[in-house]
Structure 1
Amino acid sequence: MHAILRQACSARPGVVLRPQMARSRVFRAPHLSRTLVTKRYTVEHEAVEYDDTTGLGVVCLTDHAQSSLGDVVFVELPTLGTEVSKGDQIGAVESVKAASDIYAPVSGTVEEVNEALSSQPGLLNKSPEEKGWLCKIKLSKPDEMEGLMSEEAYKASWA
């Protein structure tokens, strides 16, 4: 189309314009799949964000938990490959105010830990549910997510 316009604008009298063949362009959408990401909470102030496509749950402390703890100075994380059951202790957090255990909100295998927390434990205060995530667990029982609290229920539990 642009080539035809360029020709028309630059054509001199007596020059015949040649129509150009329109190129057919086929748009093929990539294979689309449904992904469901669910975030649930525990009464112990842990949260897990589960992606049903990967089967991974990202475990973190809630913003309410970090504000209750105060300035975090040390984080103990689980070991890679550890098999955990829902409710097992998987780590600990120490702050200037208190120390608190971290419990597995779901069952599965620890696939990844946030190594940045060993040198920057303050990430839990700055961004507890994003940059301050604790570990990623490959869920062995995804249906356990249904037994955890929604955000509304969690907020109502401590409000």
Structure 2
Amino acid sequence: MVVCSVFRVTSRLARSQLSAQCCSRALYSTEHKPRFYTKKHEWVSVNDNIGTVGISTYAQEALGEVVFVQLPEVGKEVAAGDECGALESVKAAGEVYSPVSGTITDKNSEVESKPALINKSCYEEGWLFRVKLSSPEELKQLMDQATYDKYLEEH
């Protein structure tokens, strides 16, 4: 009887810890939030005035296997269009530009140590950095998914 009670409590604790982890991931997950794109193929998805930034599928495919990532430091102020990082692949190198203005609040340290995450999952695990938006109206200057898809077809 005691064993069953302990098992039930342990099971409930595990579920509550798992749901807490899932909830924190969901807070910044870009899976179900609209993304806005630049003509240089960066994307931003916003939640509570914090933008998560990465590069598009098109960009990571064009780069090829990413082998090095340099990201902006937390606390750095950036303006929309500012160069704030770099990506290198086996066949090319490119700069990363911020799609929005604000202050860097987080960077994906895991992608710095495992650059291939960008190729594996550019919208989820391979995000680059987060920025607290100082001018949310700048999002209106970016392309939504349908406009970006059309842009890719035309270029």
TM-score, normalised to structure 1's length?
A: 0.74
Give the match for residue 16 of structure 2. none
**Aligned equivalent of 2:42:** 46
Match of 2:75 in 1: 81
Structure with larger Rg: 1
- Residue 143, structure 1, aligned to residue 131, structure 2: no
Partner of 2:66: 72
In the TM superposition, residue 128 of structure 1 has moved relative to its aligned partner by: 0.5
Q: Deviations over 1:88-116 (max 9, x none)?
A: 00101000110010000000000000000
RMSD: 1.2
- 8 Å Cα contact 2:34/2:145 also seen in 1: no
Residue identity over aligned pairs, in percent, reads 45
- Kindly indicate which of the two structures has a greater share of residues assigned to helix: 2
User: What TM-score, normalized by structure 2, do the two folds share?
Assistant: 0.76
Structure 1 runs of 4+ off > 3 angstroms? none
The equivalent position to 2:152 in structure 1, one of 127, 136, 158, is 158
1:66 alignment partner, SS class = helix
Q: Which blocks of at least 5 consecutive residues in structure 1 are unaligned? A: 1-36
Residue 121 of structure 1 pairs with residue 137 of structure 2? no
The aligned length equals: 122
Which consecutive residues of structure 2, in runs of 5 or more, have no partner in the other structure? 1-32
Q: CA deviation at 1:38?
A: 3.6
> Deviations for 1:112-136, whole angstroms, at most 9, x for unmatched residues?
0000012100000000111000000
Secondary structure of the corresponding residue to residue 48 of structure 1: strand
